[in-house]
Each structure stands twice: as structure tokens, then as C-alpha cells.
Amino acid sequence: MTSTLRKSEHALQWQAALAAANNITEKWNQPGEPGGAMTLFDSRSLQGHASGGLSNLTTGERFSIDSVVRYASVTKHIFAALALYHSDAGLSLNDTLGQYLPQLKAPMSQVTIGQALDMTGGLPDVRETLSLLGVSVYAASEPDAILEFLAQSGGLNFPAGTEISYSNTGYRLVEAILNSKGILFETLLQQHIARPLDIALHAPESWFDVVPGLVPGYWKDKSVWKTTSAGLHLSASGSLTGSLRSLTVWLQSLLANSGPGAGMLEKLTVQRHLHGDIRSAYGVGITAVQIGSHNVYGHGGSHAGYKAYFLLHPQLNAGIALVSNREDTAAYSAALQVMAALLDSPLPTRSNAIPDGLYASVAEPYWLKVNQGVASYLGADESLYQGADKDEAISLSAHMPMRLRWDGDAIKGEIGHAVRQFVPVEPNDCLEMVQGGWFHPESKAAFDIEGDQFVMGVGPLRSRGTLTSLGQGRLLVEMPDGPWQKSFCLYFQGYNVRLVSNRSRVLNFRRALCLQLP
């Protein structure tokens, strides 16, 4: 572990924040384990940093703020800044995707660029959709084939502007618009940020591209650490690589409102709205979160084996950033802890107002699993905190805001700014009626239900998931997906079944009817 500290300024508690950062990184100092680092900074100087663990388990090199990692979705705000304000592509947030990508069908073609970038477009996430079709996280893909895949149906998870739900696809499609004009993300990055700030940033197209100094990412399989990989074309939704030091220099430019960062933070954090003038805490690649009386801005990133997060307080000229090369890093939680210490403003109390259990909506394919103050909505987890009173549970997530209450019979409230109500699951015998094969005509994907198991894949690559009844013709599937576990719902309606997960709700499979020949 390394740490440094400069003189405190104003009411900011740099010493307390550094202690909190050291507390987090020190836990990574276990023999033979990967790690990460954190920085604390203002617009002029690095106020402190902490690191722990290894950057490379093979060489034993220590992790430092100069270790090169994948920023993952921290990429989003940088891409948005370049695409909208430095690309000369003439893009407006009010333009529709179909204006530039005529191959897209409605309603996808009618989603605006603003909705594509602020997570209200309802665009199905490519990686999650491919996963539901049985495509491994390790399978390589190319951007043209992915664009063709998205253009096949044009379906949305929900009508644009009616909810907020995280998806990488909007950033992928806006990058495709730039590419159609001969404008490359990497070129913009070098011209407008990397060279002016004298930092090493790169935007590789695939996981397999050579990146100078890139350290491996790791995930823990039982008791053994393994290196990670991913085959999906990275896209501008999460392709950036660089060190924590380089990221910090860019973030200081944002705080200083000068150089490449001049005017960008104000533009990227401008208030966005859903239909009905509902205010969103998600801007354009940057989210807003309230810590006590303070409004701070930031974003996280998650690739297999890599985690990142940053938070900025422009009014107090302060920021923190974290990167890690281990899958189990709770980056958002860590960033909140350190920023709360810096501001001397405690986080809300964790909430257990919602009883543990499995819940589902009525006549809809939505479900909610609650376990010890963590709510999993359509397979995506959010920690619950106390809201306006002890009976209200909220999340601190801009892309999955939750506001829930338990009235003794049902959970009522909002998720993603959409009204939701859940009741305890009442299992039924749906499983007995859906045995056999189901297929997806457009992609030729297929799965089988064998007893109480969901089976998908071919030959030795067939994988199995467990099935749990959600009642009313719905089954919850839980199964491995590379270094992760995935959860999704099978929503049966006659000879059709819809596959529903948090980021993908557009796939419909049909029952496979075998023709018996004499």
C-alpha cells in the first residue's frame, strides 16, 4: 500500500477520506490477490492516494495509480463529450437515431440521441440480449454484425421516455453514427484529450487488442483467481483504457473547467427529464447523487475483472476516483464511503423495511427478490437505504432509482420512475405444462426445459439453470454466465414465451413442435 497527503482545504476532510480509502485498499493486501487504487484530488493537485493488492498475479507487481486498466463505463461521459461537442458531426440531443442509421426500424429508430445517452431510450442491451440467446460472454463479435442484429427487430424494453434503465446500446449506436461519417472515437480521444493533457488513454475495439501496459482483470472461481476475457466488441460504451493517474488528470480538467474539460461538466450534467417532466438524476454519461446536503456527480464502470468509479463535487473543487482489477470490488459503495468521509456527511442508514422474500407483479413479467437489505429487480442488485422515514426504502442509484414501501400485503412504489407493485410469489404448476423445446426463429437460438432445469447450448457447451415458479405462467431462471450469475424470467403466453431481464426484455421464443413422420 502507498499513501500521500497534502494540506487540507476549506471544510473538506482530506485526512478522514484518505483513512477511508486506505481502509478499502488495505483489504486487498492478501497474498496472491489482485487489487486496486484510489485518488483524492482537487483541480490543482493530488491530495492523496492509496493502493493495495497486485496488478499482475504472474509477475507479483504491486498495483499503483499508474497501473493501466479498463475504465469500462466510465468511458461514457468522455465519449459523450467528444461525440456531442468535439466531433463536428452536428449531432443534437433531439435528433433521432433513425436520422443517421436508416437501417433501424421503429420504434428503435425513433429514440432520440438524448434518450439513447441518458438511459431512458428503452434500448435493449446487446450483451444481455446475446446472453439470453445463449451466446457466451467469451464469444467474439464484430460491430457491423451487432448493428445488423439490432436492426432486425427494432424492439424496445419499454416506450422511450417512460422509464430509466441502464443499457450500453445507446452509446454503441451513437458511435456507429460517428463511424458512418468517418469519425473514430480513438482519433477524437487523442486529438482533444490525451495529447493536450499528455496522458495515455486508448479506446481499443476489442478485448484482444494490444494495449501498452494493460494489467489483467481477475475473478474468483471458488477459491482460485482466474484471468478474465470478453468477446463482445467493446464500443464507446466502455472501451477506454488508462491508469488511475491519467483518469485523475482528466477529472481535474473537468473540475478546473479549463483545457479539454472546459464547459464539459456543466453540459454533461444538465437536467434530463422523462415524459411527464419527471426529473432524472442521470445526465449524459454522468449521474447525480446526494450525500447529505451535497450534490456530487460521477459514474462507474464494470467489465469482467475490472471496476471503476469517480465522484466529483464541483462546488467544493474536490473529487475521488477508484480503479480495480478484481471482480469482487464494490466500486460504488467504496466511492460513496470515501466521498462521505471527505464531506463529513454520513450516508443514509441502510434499510430493512422490505421483508426478505421473492415477489412478483400481477399479470406482468416483473419480479423483485429482497435479501438482507438488497433488492434485486429483474436480476440487478441495489442496496436499500432509509428514505423519507423508516418505512420507506430507497436506492442511491440514478439508473435504477427505487422508492418502495411494504404495507403488510404488498410492496408499492417506483422503480426506474415507473410505478410498480409486487406481492409475495404464489407458485403454481406452470412447470409441468412447458416441458420440451422452445426456439427463437430470427436467431435460430433454442432452449429446453427438462424437469426443473433450463438447458441451453450445444454439445459440451450446454449449460443448465435452476427454475423457480413466480406464479401466473412465469418461471425464474438462475444460471452462470462466465464470471457472473444471471437471472431472467420466462413469461409464458400460450405457445410463446418472453425472456425478461433487467436490460433485455424483447426476445420472444416459440414452442418447438416436432413433426412425427411415419
pLDDT at 1: 43
Over residues 459-487, mean pLDDT: 94
Residue 5's pLDDT band (cuts 50, 70, 90): very low
Q: According to the model, what pLDDT value does residue 517 have?
A: 37
Q: Which amino acid is at 267?
A: K
Residue 7 has what pLDDT? 40
Mean pLDDT of 323-335: 98
How does the average pLDDT of the chain come out, rounded?
A: 95
Summarised one tens digit per residue, pLDDT across range 201-227 is 999 999 999 999 999 999 999 889 999
pLDDT in tens, 97-151: 999 999 999 999 999 999 999 999 999 999 999 999 999 999 999 999 999 999 9
Determine the Cα–Cα distance for residues 101 and 428; give it in Å rounded to an integer: 45
Per-residue pLDDT, averaged over 323-338, amounts to 98
Average pLDDT over residues 164-179: 98
Q: pLDDT tens across 68-96, in order?
A: 999 999 999 999 999 999 999 999 999 99
Q: Is the pLDDT of residue 17 over 70?
A: yes
Indicate the burial class of 430 (C-beta count within 10 angstroms; 0-12, 13-18, 19 or more): middle
Helices and strands, counts by H and E, the chain: 12, 32
- As a whole number, mean pLDDT of residues 168-179 equals 98
Q: Which of 251-255, 282-286, 509-513 has the lowest mean pLDDT?
A: 509-513
Which domains are seen in the chain, by residue range? 3-70+197-343 (3.40.710.10), 89-180 (1.20.58), 357-424 (no CATH), 430-511 (2.40.128.210)
CA angle 123, 87, 126 (to 5 degrees): 20
Mean pLDDT of the 239-265 span: 98
- Alpha helix segments (H runs only) across 35-134: 75-85, 113-117, 126-132
pLDDT at 123: 98
Core vs surface per residue 451-471: b (16+ CB within 10 A) or e: eeebbbbeeeeeeebebbbbb
* pTM of the predicted protein model: 0.95
Tell me the percentage of the chain whose pLDDT exceeds 70.
Answer: 97
| 177-198: average pLDDT | 98
46-55: pLDDT as tens digits: 999 999 999 9
User: Phi and psi for 80 in degrees, rounded to 5?
Assistant: -60, -45
| pLDDT exceeds 60 at position 516 | no
DSSP-derived secondary structure letter, 259: G
Closest CA to 300 of 326, 323, 279, 325: 323
Contact 376, 487 (CB under 8 A): yes
Is the separation of the CB atoms in 167 and 119 below 8 Å?
yes
Instruction: Check residue 482 and give its pLDDT.
Output: 86
| Burial of 294 from C-beta contacts in 10 A (0-12 / 13-18 / 19+) | middle
Do 169 and 126 meet the contact criterion of CB atoms below 8 Å apart? yes
Q: Percentage helix, strand, coil, to 5, in the chain?
A: 25, 35, 45
Extended strands (E) in 361-401: 367-371, 374-377, 380-383, 385-386, 392-394
Residue 9 has pLDDT above 80, yes or no: no
Q: What are 488's strand-pairing partners? A: 477
Burial of 426 (0-12, 13-18, 19+ CB in 10 A): exposed
